[in-house]
Amino acid sequence: MVTPTGYTGVSRKSHLVFDACFESGNLGRVDCISEFEFDLFIRPDTCNPRFRVWFNFTVENVQETQRVIFNIVNFSKTKSLYRDGMSPVVKSTSRPKWQRLPAKNVYYYRCPDHRRNYVMSFAFCFDREDDVYQFAYCYPYTYTRLQHYLDSLERRNLDYLQREQLGLSVQQRRLDLLTITSPAQQNPEKQKKLVVLTARVHPGESPASFICQGVIDFLVSQHPVAVILRDHVIFKIVPMLNPDGVYLGNYRCSLMGFDLNRHWQEPSPWVHPTLHAVKQLIVQLSQDTKVGLEFYIDVHAHSTMMNGFMYGNVFEEEERVQRQAVFPRLLCQNAPDFSFSNTSFNRDVVKAGTGRRFLGGLLDDMSYCYTLEVSFYSYMAAGSTAPVPYTEDTYMNLGRNVARTFLDYYKHNNFIDDKKPQTTNPINSTEVLSQGQQGNGIGNEKTSGGERGAERKNLGLKDKTTRHQAAPQHTGNTSPV
């Protein structure tokens, strides 16, 4: 409980109670500046004081119509999408769906009271005394939520889905591996292709989990594209590579303070057990002559750029450079929020220990390694100068579009027969999610209106997007001060 300076009486309504002692919570300290203004300090990642970005906390004991200003005062990053209109998300016990605060109530500036460090301030009006309000940097996706989701998938007993425990984290949390593929090949003479996808190596990048769930939801559905893909491709998915960091509310590091995405070259089975297990798996798969490992995609979220985009590697052979650009170009045609113009190929020295860079040098020249990034905030819709904020639903929709793009890729490369059923109709999310998802409270989203259906074979087309649905209206709990 935070009481005004000098107050000695009995606590009362409006003396705010802050809490972050829950899964994925993060709040280190609260200073009361006045009865309506509070300075909030992010707790650094465990064993690593460098990273202070993710926050997730609750507030209760509020008074109806109480108006406050919260200042997040110790961000470790200076560049931020808060400069471009990003805002925190909020929910309450009576309104459990996350919403973004109105951008007009959020300010990002250098503050002379905090050594000219960057501060993000937001104004808020509490409107229901009995509610507990929760604020977060972005939509949380916890380790427990993932376990409930995977349990619900496992209960469906799908013959083309296998869940296994690939290993355990330092704190003994599960490292899950999903294998999605049809048990019988349509054409035994043809080698099955292999796609490996990982997410949440950086625990505060929660949009990566929504994208990953969108990929899984689509691949296990009865959509015609998903059925074809399962017949020709093996998908290996590690949905949460850093479960301890996610559980603890870290932004970038593991329990022991390591940025796991800088340790792919020599991961320790004791210090980086989850990374070590995934690396061993990929090395083993790359040596299996029965399958062709063609894709490794690591899913992240980006704190300073908009849209979805990819990072790829740099090669000497021009043909390989061109081949590497095919998948992002095709994804650009399917996903209205994916930008090929933001996609780049590099070999930065500081990125040498990342999964994309390390595996790009380890695997053969027919394998492609990408980092898939998505904005923490928004994307630009065609014909509009205003950014469209991402929602949980649109993050998942990007995942579905990533999955369907594999069919376009393999048809383009003549691995999948072009005479297969046409896939020009937009993906219907009701169809994708109807297989046993009802009632679990997870992933029940609507398909965004801008999704494209036509497969284009002109890979030289420029990046295009389509107009997307408007952002949802906010309820009364985001009234301006």
C-beta separation of 20 from 57 below 8 A: yes
The DSSP-derived string for 309-364 is EEEE---S-HHHHHHHTHHHHHHHHH-TTB-STT-EE---GGGTTSHHHHHHHHS-
How far apart CA 363 and CA 53 sit, in angstroms, is: 34
- Give residue for tokens 């908009």: 306
Annotated catalytic residue, options 294, 373, 392, 445: 373
How far apart CA 88 and CA 316 sit, in angstroms, is: 43
- Give residue for tokens 């960091």: 245
C-beta separation of 192 from 207 below 8 A: no
- 373 annotated active-site: yes
Phi-psi domain of 91 (left: phi exceeds 0; alpha: psi -120 through 50; beta: other): beta
Collect all residues with Cβ–Cβ distance below 8 Å to 405 and sequence separation of at least 6: 327, 330, 331, 334, 335
Phi-psi domain of 439 (left: phi exceeds 0; alpha: psi -120 through 50; beta: other): left
How far apart CA 39 and CA 350 sit, in angstroms, is: 34
How far apart CA 262 and CA 264 sit, in angstroms, is: 6
Q: State the catalytic residues.
A: 373
